[in-house]
Amino acid sequence: MNPVSDSCPHREACCQFGRSDKIIYGFLKEVGTNVFVHGTYDYDLAVIGGGSGGLACAKEAVNHGARVAVLDYVTPSPLGSKWGLGGTCVNVGCIPKKLMHQAAILGESIHEAVAYGWEVPAVGDVKINWSALTEAVQNHIKSVNWVTRVDLREKKIEYINGLGSFKDPHTIVATMKNGSKKELTARNIVIAVGGRPIYPDIPGAKEYCITSDDIFSLAHPPGKTLVVGAGYIGLECAGFLNSLGYSATVLVRSVPLRGFDQQMAGLVVAEMETRGVTFHRRAVPVSVEKMENGQLKARWMNTETKEQSEDVFDTVLLATGRYALTADLNLPAAGVGCVAPNGKIVAATEQTDAPHVFAVGDVLQDRPELTPVAIHAGRLLARRLFAGGQQQMDYDNIATTIFTPLEYGCVGLSEEEATRRHGADSLEVYHAFYKPTEFFIPQRNIRNCYLKAVALREAPQRILGLHFVGPVAGEVIQGFAAAIKCGITMEQLMNTVGIHPTVAEEFTRLNITKRSGKDPNPASCCS
């Protein structure tokens, strides 16, 4: 789209009656033009937060002719870690996490190469160079930061490296690094500030502990590490640290991977335990103190027995949840009042209770905290605002993967959630253990390689959820996510010819139900 100009054939008809922008837009759409009115605001769209969702929304808006500004500022972590433009995913989330996970896989592959005939000198002495690893990871991140800055400049999106907050419904005040203030106005405003890790209220938490904000740029090897929390961030960090050669212990408050299928979560934990990760269940941290030698003494308590335990670690990594960065936005000034105690904005869609203020990404309550979700929601929002789009974000059946040593990929409902919604008697659960070909040489543990399909029992048995624990789970589950979106049934899945030998084909071979009581273990790789 383009701004309404003096040459616009509909300008006089729209403006002489002093109609509101919304009415004008409807009129222009009706008469067949796609222009919209910029009005007296500095920008058509201001985005607070330069993460994946905010940037996607900004870029899409510019594609449709909007004038856009993006405000982004990273407050350093208590340890002092800070980063560039791009948000959590690029800097301290998905990207560095996957690179660390890949480093761990490569280390395992070096040892396994001997069994395939590779002559690897002194394989027993193979170890990670932490400084080289973090330098490589940070160099990649900085390159992405730079490309993102260049992309904004080329698209003529104004980037403001300042901390934004509302002065009134349409005015944002940006506090710059040097403390100076910059004001700007915008017709529409998108909140995409994401979140940051929660520090538990215990002695020594902020003074001596790190979080996922710090681990990927940690200046020294982490050594023996205590991970507090057993959500996906905690388990992923414990997994790659252990595989890189750093002893890892995990405190589990209640259940691992809360919100995910608990049978699959149990397999993930079981695999991590076989690889040497220690788990303390029903455990909550009590305190962390720094010893004279620089190590950390951590104490924790069993929530059932109230018994306290302690151990000495080199690093304590907190992964006890995240909160949304909305406290400093002065949301009441914008008319946004529906905010949860964790700072997240409560909204049925991306529109808040202020008609011109929207939110995308992790800042929304009860939405998947996933980068692709934020990106897609941001793009759809921009199309609705500036291109007459109607499509709303569909938050159901979002695929995801936990990058633990044995990965867990899933899409759709967990078995527990499917049971809650439909009742156990209405479900049929197909399941199987399997033997990845790549685990044959050398002989690797296959006890936790497992998958299942949760389906309605009534024909044609529409599939409600697919779950997979095994190698390259993310690559496996992505294609099946599209199938779930299309309403795939068990009959269709069983009539799909698999690619042999792959782990993904195991879904096409599912034929044993839990209800049958039959052995779900395969007789051979081709059974």
Active site residues: 500
Q: Which amino acid, one-letter code, is at 439?
A: F
C-alpha distances in Å from residue 389, one per residue of 110, 309, 372, 373:
51, 57, 20, 18
Angle (nearest 5°) at CA 487 between 484 and 490: 85
What does DSSP say about strands 171-176 and 181-191: parallel, antiparallel, or unpaired? antiparallel
Alpha-carbon torsion angle 135, 138, 142, 143, nearest 10: 70
C-alpha distances in Å from residue 392, one per residue of 26, 189, 338:
19, 18, 20
- Terminal CA-to-CA distance of the chain, rounded, Å? 58
* Neighbour order of strands in the sheet with 315-318: 278-281, 248-252, 225-228, 315-318
Owner of token pair 């995990």: 250
Residue 289: other Cβ atoms inside 10 A: 14
Asked whether the beta carbons of 288 and 297 are under 8 A apart, the reply is yes
Asked whether the beta carbons of 296 and 314 are under 8 A apart, the reply is yes
Give the pair of three-digit tokens for residue 76.
Answer: 């350093």
3-state SS, one letter per residue, for 174-217: EEECCCCEEEEEEEEEEECCCEEECCCCCCCHHHHCECCCCHHH
Angle between helices 415-422 and 262-274 (to 10 degrees): 170
Asked whether the beta carbons of 186 and 68 are under 8 A apart, the reply is no
